[in-house]
Amino acid sequence: MITAEDIDGLTERDWQQADAGDGPVRIAMIGIGWWTRDRAIPAVEASGLCETTVAVSSSTEKAADAAEGHPTIEEAITYEQFHDGAVSEAYDGVYIATPNALHPQYAETAAELGKAILCEKPMADRAERAAEMLDTTQNTTLMIAYRMHTEPIVRRMRELVREDFVGEVVEIRGRMSQRLLDMFSDPDQWRLDPDLSGYGTSVMDLGIYPLNTARFVLDSDPVRAHASMSSASEGFEAVPDERASFLLEFPEGAVASCAASQNAFKDDRFAVIGTEGSLSMRNAFHSGDSRELVLERDGARTTLAVKPVDQMVEEFDYFADRVLRGESPHPDGEHGLFDMRALEAIYAAAERDEPVPIDA
């Protein structure tokens, strides 16, 4: 049975080749919400390969306020100024953290300016918009910000699946939930506005984690979706998925059973069940939470508490590593577009109450 000694070096990066002497990659932060202020900017400050030099927001005052106390941020500009190419010499890449529907316009401008792009997930609000965005960014680096791809435990789970630790994969189980309206004082939340969020809220914002992590761990893409959704509480009238569950069928016969809710107790977990064993991770997706990996096989069970890494630091350094070495990142735009098509199928399956194929 695997013991703690078997995962020594779990937090070591198996992907990094660039070093601090090769950088830094200078980043313009586009969208100065709480996530950018509290997680993205501090992560870049802790990075060894990149630094934030530009803040972009709805007003120069808001951008300047976000820059306060961060000496590397030399420029504060508006969205309009960004589109006009202002201070484009001050950054090498952009991090897009606006509402989903706005991602494509900033990605298109960044591509026109010849900048590398790290875009938050989901890639856009709708699959057709994501396809358009992919077309407009063909000549630059585009990475979609799936931070679980650089989460060491998830990478180790992927290796164990490849090494047949669980045997043939039968099922993946994943869920993510939180109380969205308890997190923000303003109930006018863009994630509850279909014009900004896209198909819905819970699956678009949270269900995408088990969806994409299942794809990554299995190294496979699902072919069909089943789903059930409902919304009944105040504040969720405009979206179909206050509560949602969905099932994805993979071509090898495995299924992923997933659930997501923006109005439930905070919980997140991910498990892989096979013919010979299982792997499960508690505190799977909420960045910063402690991690626990449970391995079961041959009647034995091992629980490993692993000190968490800062997933955002890992993500930014991975992005910078690829930019500095001139290599394409994974997950790229094609990978992000497939998730958009899977999301489209999930919402359609719930609406029609029938299985829906996922267009590759």
Assess contact for 267 and 176: CB atoms under 8 A.
yes
pLDDT at 92: 98
- The verdict on 53 and 113 lying in the same domain is yes
SS3 267: strand
| pLDDT, tens digit (0-9, with 9 covering 90-100), for 199-208 | 999 999 999 9
Q: Is 324 part of any domain?
A: no
| pLDDT, tens digit (0-9, with 9 covering 90-100), for 85-142 | 999 999 999 999 999 999 999 999 999 999 999 999 999 999 999 999 999 999 999 9
Domains of the chain: total:
2
For residue 9, pLDDT beyond 70: no
Domain that holds residue 303: 152-308+330-357
For residue 262, pLDDT beyond 60: yes
For residue 5, pLDDT beyond 70: no
As a whole-number percent, the residues of the chain with pLDDT over 70 amount to: 96
| pLDDT, tens digit (0-9, with 9 covering 90-100), for 135-153 | 999 999 999 999 999 998 8
For residue 301, pLDDT beyond 80: yes
Q: Is 228 part of any domain?
A: yes
Rounded Cα distance between 312 and 104, Å, is 22
pLDDT at 20: 81
- The verdict on 46 and 98 lying in the same domain is yes
When mean pLDDT is compared across 40-54, 222-236, 274-288, the lowest value belongs to 274-288
Rounded Cα distance between 57 and 29, Å, is 9
Looking up residue 205, the CATH number of its domain turns out to be: 3.30.360.10
Give the residue from 113, 146, 179 where a domain finishes.
Answer: 146
Mean pLDDT of the region 32-36: 94
Cα distances (Å, whole numbers) of residue 278 to 157, 171, 270: 10, 10, 11
Note the helical H segments in 137-253: 152-162, 180-183, 194-197, 202, 208-218
What pTM, to 2 d.p., does this model score? 0.95
- The verdict on 335 and 242 lying in the same domain is yes
pLDDT at 57: 98
Mean pLDDT of the region 1-23: 70
In the structure, what pLDDT confidence band is assigned to residue 233 with cuts at 50, 70 and 90? Answer: very high
In the structure, what pLDDT confidence band is assigned to residue 8 with cuts at 50, 70 and 90? Answer: low
Give the residue from 112, 146, 180 where a domain finishes.
Answer: 146
Residues forming beta bridges with residue 169, ordered by sequence position: 274
pLDDT at 11: 62
pLDDT at 10: 60
pLDDT at 283: 86
pLDDT at 7: 54
- The verdict on 283 and 201 lying in the same domain is yes
Angle at 245 between CA 276 and CA 350, to 5 degrees: 130
pLDDT at 140: 96
- The verdict on 130 and 214 lying in the same domain is no
Residue 76 is encoded by which pair of tokens? 């504060």
Rounded Cα distance between 104 and 311, Å, is 24
As a whole-number percent, the residues of the chain with pLDDT over 90 amount to: 85
Taking all residues of the chain, what is their mean pLDDT, rounded to a whole number?
Answer: 94
pLDDT at 2: 55
Give the residue from 94, 114, 146 where a domain finishes.
Answer: 146
What b/e readout covers 229-252, taking b as 16+ CB neighbours within 10 angstroms?
bebeeebbeebbbbbbbbbbbbee
- The verdict on 219 and 351 lying in the same domain is yes
- The verdict on 142 and 179 lying in the same domain is no
Other Cβ atoms within 10 Å of 4 Cβ, number: 12
When mean pLDDT is compared across 2-11, 30-39, 135-144, 338-347, the lowest value belongs to 2-11
pLDDT at 186: 72
- The verdict on 137 and 158 lying in the same domain is no
DSSP line for 110-141: HHHTT-EEEEPSSSSSSHHHHHHHHHHTTTS-
- The verdict on 183 and 138 lying in the same domain is no
For residue 183, pLDDT beyond 80: yes
Looking up residue 128, the CATH number of its domain turns out to be: 3.40.50.720
- The verdict on 204 and 61 lying in the same domain is no
For residue 291, pLDDT beyond 70: yes
pLDDT at 196: 97
Mean pLDDT of the region 321-336: 96
For residue 187, pLDDT beyond 90: no
